[in-house]
Structure 1
Amino acid sequence: MSDPRVTRWARRLVAAGAGFFLAFHLAVATGAGRRFVVVLGLYGFVLHVLFGKAYALVPAYFDRDLSVPQAPAAQFPLSVLGTVGLALAPVAPGWVGAIGSVCWALGVAVFVGAVGWTVRTNPTGAETGTGGANTHRQPVDRLANAVLPIALVYLAAAAVAVALPTVGRRWLVAAQVSHLLGAGTAALFVFGVGFRLFPRFLVAEPPRSLVRLVLPAGALAPALLAGGLFDRWLLLLGGVLEALAVVGFAVAYVALFRRSDRRRIGFYAVLGAVGYGAVGVGLAVMAVLDGRDPALVRAHYRTMLAGFLGLTIVGATFQFYPPTVGRSRLSTDRTAGE
């Protein structure tokens, strides 16, 4: 049974992510700078929702209870304030960005520490908590679990890179950190959690050959993308692997959708998301081959943030919190579709 404190603060993290989602789209609509848009979209929207749902899902996926139920409440102010500080850093006094960096890194430390301590006795996810009518899903669940600790490693590395400039050191540039967070943490969580969630949501089975392709490629690609940012061929290899992961996940989801007779608004959102994902990785490969044309780079990160990651999260969120259970007259599937 989930601790009420975990449930309450996990939902608040998701709610904060929704607020950042609105701010992200306003920033895009008003032509805000790249750094501002990325922080609001990735650090704010994508990662806050990921933090909230990970607290709720990952311990159960590893057949554990969250070892530190106070962690979501402790992380919430650190992550929110940290994101605001990082977003304002380009236009605010230096201390604003420094405080933002430290707060955000501390929030990540709380998250990684709590989740890591929870799964320490089951680090590969071999114990899946899968049983009963879902016993046949155990092989896929084990593969999906195995990549989640790798996503935590990428997240921890990114947090260190964000915090180091506050003590006069620099390890990675902003684009490398964004790859660690976007591809290494967010996308890898989408793959790992997605292969557990969506088959259950849709009551169908994904092609196992694609599961075996997507997860290793998705786990290795972020290291190549971040480490090879200034090496064209290493970057291209990472891009190809990430493309295999994203396109493979897209094909697997389409197969699940076609095998299912369930048609809900959230499932259509994810269907659109995987299409944007395929477009986004195509733009990335084109950008590498074309000498990183700024227009292609901008199209890539916006497509992946708002399209692939954004719509995937929105679709899954509509499934967790169906619009029709809301008390407002505007809380309907029709409104969600619009």
Structure 2
Amino acid sequence: MISRWSRRYVLVSAVFLTGWQAGVVVGIPRRTEVVLGLFGFVLHVIFGKAYSLVPTYFDRTVAFPYAPAVQFPLVAVGTGGLVASSLGVGPPWTGAAGAILWCLGIGTFLFTLAWTIRENPTGRETATGDANAERRPVDRLANGFVPVALLYLLIGAYETLAVYTALPPFLDGYPPQVTHLLAAGTAGVMLFALGFRMLPRFMVAHPPRWPVGVVLSTGAVGPVLLAAGLGSGWLFQLGALVQAVAVAGFATAVGTLYIRSDRRRVGFYGVLAGAGFGVLAITLGLLFAFSRMLPSLVRAHLRLNLLGFLGLTIVGVTYQFYPPAVGNLPGASNRSAFYSVIALAGGLLAQLVGIGAGAPPLTNLGHVLALGGSLLFLYLIVAALDAR
């Protein structure tokens, strides 16, 4: 049951990705991009895979097997309500209703995982077999930061509810603060923690030991500093530096794993591209923190993080879990998957160059390329799931 619902989350995530890129082509508001890209694309796939990976990595089974089925309509419909609100569609209470539904889904997710790992909250028990005994120190360290990602999700959910209702916020009630809590905090820390467990096994290699602790510790602290100091001041600068260390360290680990690995899989190219765009994202973030925040580059920073760093990494890992070559539909192959990665990465790069050079035609070409890549990704996911 868990694996079946996990696949549904992944499928809906791909649908949201395609909807996001289609919206970019027609010029949707930035807030709509955030909802589609973060709440829709990134977080749905994290929910789906966390239900299967976190219990396994903590040597447990899901406490409530029906939880994914309960959460699914709440977060999917809730996200739809937030999208409608961001577009000004529907009655005035649409945003509040969407936020309430979404938060109910988050509550289901958090309670289920918390109850599942309640007797092993730090992840000391890793289910790592004797054949991989040398991986246990990294596995234990990575497990220990999964609760940090869940804590960020709890805070981010409350702040989301505060944005759309009369609840008092912990911070300033500024939506970009919520975005950083959920993107850098929940998604980023979960990516680091689960990534240090998954990627070495996918690539059959060992990461350098030093980046693991550095990435996890700085990745856990950076998001709250960014959210609290967002916009200006020393706290914002400190947060940008700390987060830069985390992302750069993770990119170093990913690159080293790839070099040390004898395997070459199409999914690895997505992970590598994601790491590269992560470095570009932190470079732009440091520019904002230590120089000035250029309005023309804010949306570029958003896309670098959501579509580049998080998005392409998710695409690459998804191809590992659901190999394109097993798809039943015409054209489903590793080559098609490679083209989807190229289209997404090339489209994003074209957008960045177009924005920087003030060349709208190049930016628009990038939008179309990214849409094509997302459509191909969705097609390949449908093909792979149909084969199952």
On whether the aligned pair clears a TM of 0.5, the verdict is yes
Q: In structure 2, do the counterparts of structure 1 residues 327 and 114 end up closer, same or farther at CA, with 3 Å as the change threshold? A: same
1:289 corresponds in structure 2 to 290
Tell me whether 23-32 or 97-106 shows the greater mean CA deviation.
23-32
SS in 2 for 1:45: helix
Contact 2:251–2:279 (Cα < 8 Å) also in 1: yes
State the identity as a percent.
50
Contact 2:3–2:52 (Cα < 8 Å) also in 1: yes
Select which of 49, 52, 73 maps to 1:53. Answer: 49
- For 2:337 and 2:63, locate their aligned partners in 1 and report how far apart those are by CA, in whole Å: 36
Q: How does 1:197-276 map to 2 (within 5 A)?
A: 197-276=198-277
- For 1:290 and 1:89, locate their aligned partners in 2 and report how far apart those are by CA, in whole Å: 33
Instruction: For residues 107-146 of structure 1, give each alpha carbon's deviation from its aligned partner in whole angstroms, at most 9, with x where no partner exists.
Output: 1111111011111111111111111211110000011111
- For 1:213 and 1:231, locate their aligned partners in 2 and report how far apart those are by CA, in whole Å: 25
Q: In structure 2, do the counterparts of structure 1 residues 221 and 248 end up closer, same or farther at CA, with 3 Å as the change threshold? A: same
Gaps of 5+ in 1: none
1:99 corresponds in structure 2 to 97
- For 1:127 and 1:167, locate their aligned partners in 2 and report how far apart those are by CA, in whole Å: 40
1:130 corresponds in structure 2 to 128
Contact 2:218–2:243 (Cα < 8 Å) also in 1: yes
Contact 1:40–1:87 (Cα < 8 Å) also in 2: yes
Contact 1:284–1:300 (Cα < 8 Å) also in 2: yes
Pair 1:139 & 2:137 matched: yes
Select which of 19, 39, 63 maps to 1:43. Answer: 39
Using the size of structure 2 for normalisation, the TM-score is: 0.84
- For 2:134 and 2:5, locate their aligned partners in 1 and report how far apart those are by CA, in whole Å: 33
- For 2:113 and 2:222, locate their aligned partners in 1 and report how far apart those are by CA, in whole Å: 23
- For 2:200 and 2:106, locate their aligned partners in 1 and report how far apart those are by CA, in whole Å: 29
- For 2:285 and 2:322, locate their aligned partners in 1 and report how far apart those are by CA, in whole Å: 33
2:59 corresponds in structure 1 to 63
2:302 corresponds in structure 1 to 301
- For 1:324 and 1:230, locate their aligned partners in 2 and report how far apart those are by CA, in whole Å: 45
Select which of 64, 72, 77 maps to 1:76. Answer: 72
SS in 1 for 2:93: helix
Amino acid at match of 1:300: H
Amino acid at match of 2:281: G
Offset of 1:298 from its aligned partner? Answer: 1.5
Amino acid at match of 1:137: R
2:29 corresponds in structure 1 to 33
Instruction: For residues 173-207 of structure 1, give each alpha carbon's deviation from its aligned partner in whole angstroms, at most 9, with x where no partner exists.
Output: 21110001000000111100000000000000001
Pair 1:164 & 2:153 matched: no
Select which of 151, 163, 181 maps to 2:149. Answer: 151
Offset of 1:164 from its aligned partner? Answer: 2.7
2:188 corresponds in structure 1 to 187
Offset of 1:253 from its aligned partner? Answer: 0.5
2:119 corresponds in structure 1 to 121
Pair 1:12 & 2:12 matched: no
- For 1:176 and 1:120, locate their aligned partners in 2 and report how far apart those are by CA, in whole Å: 29
- For 2:217 and 2:316, locate their aligned partners in 1 and report how far apart those are by CA, in whole Å: 24
Amino acid at match of 1:261: D
Amino acid at match of 2:249: G
Root mean square deviation, CA, Å? 1.1
Gaps of 5+ in 2: 340-388
Offset of 1:152 from its aligned partner? Answer: 0.2
Instruction: For residues 90-122 of structure 1, give each alpha carbon's deviation from its aligned partner in whole angstroms, at most 9, with x where no partner exists.
Output: 312211111101011111111111011111111
Offset of 1:291 from its aligned partner? Answer: 2.8
- For 1:39 and 1:190, locate their aligned partners in 2 and report how far apart those are by CA, in whole Å: 19
Contact 1:284–1:296 (Cα < 8 Å) also in 2: no
Offset of 1:290 from its aligned partner? Answer: 3.0
Contact 1:210–1:249 (Cα < 8 Å) also in 2: yes
Amino acid at match of 1:28: V
Offset of 1:288 from its aligned partner? Answer: 2.0
- For 2:101 and 2:187, locate their aligned partners in 1 and report how far apart those are by CA, in whole Å: 20
Contact 1:287–1:296 (Cα < 8 Å) also in 2: no
Amino acid at match of 2:217: P
- For 1:297 and 1:197, locate their aligned partners in 2 and report how far apart those are by CA, in whole Å: 32
Instruction: For residues 277-315 of structure 1, give each alpha carbon's deviation from its aligned partner in whole angstroms, at most 9, with x where no partner exists.
Output: 000011011112233211222111110111010000000
Offset of 1:166 from its aligned partner? Answer: 4.9
